[in-house]
């Protein structure tokens, strides 16, 4: 809110400052003012710091909670887990924090260097300005924040692979999660030693990236408002880029408001699924989505157990996945209903905005700034809930498990 943070006189209102701060620290990317024109260099620096602290904090928080839940708090199970996996030393919190910080800084440094070189050599930006642009967008990309220093995001670079591809790969890297990178670092040449979580995350991420890119490219190929205005190589690049961005990144190189309804619906599905656990991506997470699919597959086949990657998945894990998914649906539906009541926007636009906020994506059809104050407060709460809710809820469910000494007789209500 400080006058120093904005370019205009009088500073920024409380609601705008609150919305922007929440969007930054929750690494979402939704905005109610133009980042490139409203905020001063100091204000952009505040946003950058919030993005970095939010991304590091979420990855560290989620990794430590996952470690805590995984080891079950009991000494015997902690020793057993440590002996079986050899992934993280017993109680070595510092190694987790150090690993998260190093992983983040390495990916951000590589992306920043590539972008800075391109801005300086390809767009004649002074090296100091190019370095700043590279750093800002590298941090925003790896942390899946989606903040950009141009009014139309990355639309000016829609056909430039030297800008779009580093941003896209930084988004993918941040969305995989620290536990996956830790295992890949230790056992990169030994896939058989990868845990079920790593195998499931990599397989699901690859499948969703390919499916998303193919669908967006095919559905928007002839749309003159999006890919149809580009040459074939540009269409392929933009299609891939927009297949990656629903991993909860929030950048765009074409106008989402001009996309076809089918593309918007597919984007909403991809946003709701999100990325990997203990990463910078939001959503219900790819592992939750895969577990739900496996439950349906096992039930259709009549299998007694839900199995994947030569392992049986426990009933409690399945119930946690169902809980996260259904509560996520409830949060999006309830927020959509409230937004429809307080605004005059269409159902399609409001639903897209609600999913984007809950999944901490930041993609928008352009209605965020037009929502009333009450609607912006709803999105603010939804961003915070979507960022911390799934992590906290799953950890609470796992840690409060208690043994029971009896079981009630089984009942079978009629289903369907």
Does some domain include residue 253? yes
Is 132 a domain residue?
A: yes
Tally of structural domains, the chain? 1
At 92-120, the pLDDT tens digits run 567 777 888 889 999 999 999 999 999 99
Residue 341 counted as domain residue: yes
Residue 60 lies in a domain: yes
What is the pLDDT at residue 402? 66
Does residue 296 fall inside a structural domain?
A: yes
Residue numbers of the chain with a pLDDT score lower than 70: 65-93, 395, 397-402
For every residue of 357-406, DSSP letters joined together read HHTT----SS-GGGS-HHHHHHHHHHHHHHHHHHHHHHHHHHHT----S-
Q: Can you give the residue range of the structural domain that contains 71?
A: 3-399
**369 phi-psi bin (left φ>0, alpha ψ -120 to 50, beta other):** alpha
Query: Is residue 221 assigned to a domain?
Result: yes
**In contact, 112 and 132? CB cutoff 8 Å:** no
- In this prediction, residue 77 carries a pLDDT of 44
Question: Does residue 405 lie in a domain region?
Answer: no
pLDDT of 84: 38
Residue 251 lies in a domain: yes
Residue 83 is predicted with a pLDDT of 41
- pLDDT value for 284: 92
Q: What is the pLDDT of residue 101?
A: 87
Q: What is the pLDDT of residue 161?
A: 97
**pLDDT at site 87:** 42
């Amino acid at each position: 809110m400080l006058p120093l943070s904005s370019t205009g006189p009088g500073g920024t209102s409380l609601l705008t400052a609150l919305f922007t701060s929440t969007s930054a620290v929750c690494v979402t990317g939704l905005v109610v003012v133009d980042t490139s024109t409203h905020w001063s260099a100091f204000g952009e620096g505040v946003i950058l710091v919030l993005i970095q602290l939010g991304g590091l904090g979420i990855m560290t928080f989620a990794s430590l909670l996952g470690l805590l839940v995984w080891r079950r708090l009991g000494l015997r199970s902690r020793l057993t887990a440590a002996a079986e996996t050899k992934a993280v030393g017993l109680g070595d919190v510092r190694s987790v924090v150090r690993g998260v910080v190093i992983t983040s800084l390495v990916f951000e440094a590589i992306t920043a260097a590539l972008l800075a070189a391109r801005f300086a050599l390809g767009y004649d930006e002074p090296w100091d300005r190019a370095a700043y642009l590279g750093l800002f967008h590298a941090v925003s990309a790896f942390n899946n924040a989606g903040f950009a220093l141009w009014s139309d995001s990355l639309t000016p670079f829609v056909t430039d692979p030297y800008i779009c591809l580093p941003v896209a790969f930084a988004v993918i890297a941040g969305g995989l999660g620290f536990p996956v990178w830790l295992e890949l670092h230790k056992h990169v040449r030994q896939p058989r030693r990868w845990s079920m979580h790593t195998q499931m995350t990599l397989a699901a991420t690859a499948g969703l990236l390919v499916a998303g890119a193919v669908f967006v490219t095919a559905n928007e190929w002839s749309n003159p408002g999006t890919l149809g205005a580009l040459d074939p190589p540009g269409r392929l690049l933009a299609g891939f880029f927009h297949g990656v961005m629903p991993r909860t990144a929030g950048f765009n190189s074409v106008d989402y408001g001009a996309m076809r309804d089918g593309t918007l619906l597919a984007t909403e599905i991809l946003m709701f699924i999100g990325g990997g656990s203990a990463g910078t991506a939001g959503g219900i997470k790819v592992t939750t989505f895969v577990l739900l699919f496996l439950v349906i597959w096992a039930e259709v086949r009549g299998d007694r157990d839900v199995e994947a990657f030569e392992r049986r998945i426990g009933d409690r894990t399945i119930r946690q996945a169902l809980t996260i998914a259904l509560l996520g649906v409830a949060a999006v539906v309830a927020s959509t209903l409230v937004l429809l009541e307080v605004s005059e926007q269409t159902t399609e636009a409001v639903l897209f905005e609600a999913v984007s906020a809950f999944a901490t994506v930041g993609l928008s059809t352009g209605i965020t700034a037009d929502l009333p104050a009450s609607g912006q407060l709803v999105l603010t709460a939804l961003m915070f809930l979507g960022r911390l809710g799934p992590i906290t809820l799953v950890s609470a469910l796992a840690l409060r498990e208690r043994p029971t000494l009896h079981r009630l007789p089984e009942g079978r209500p009629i289903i369907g």
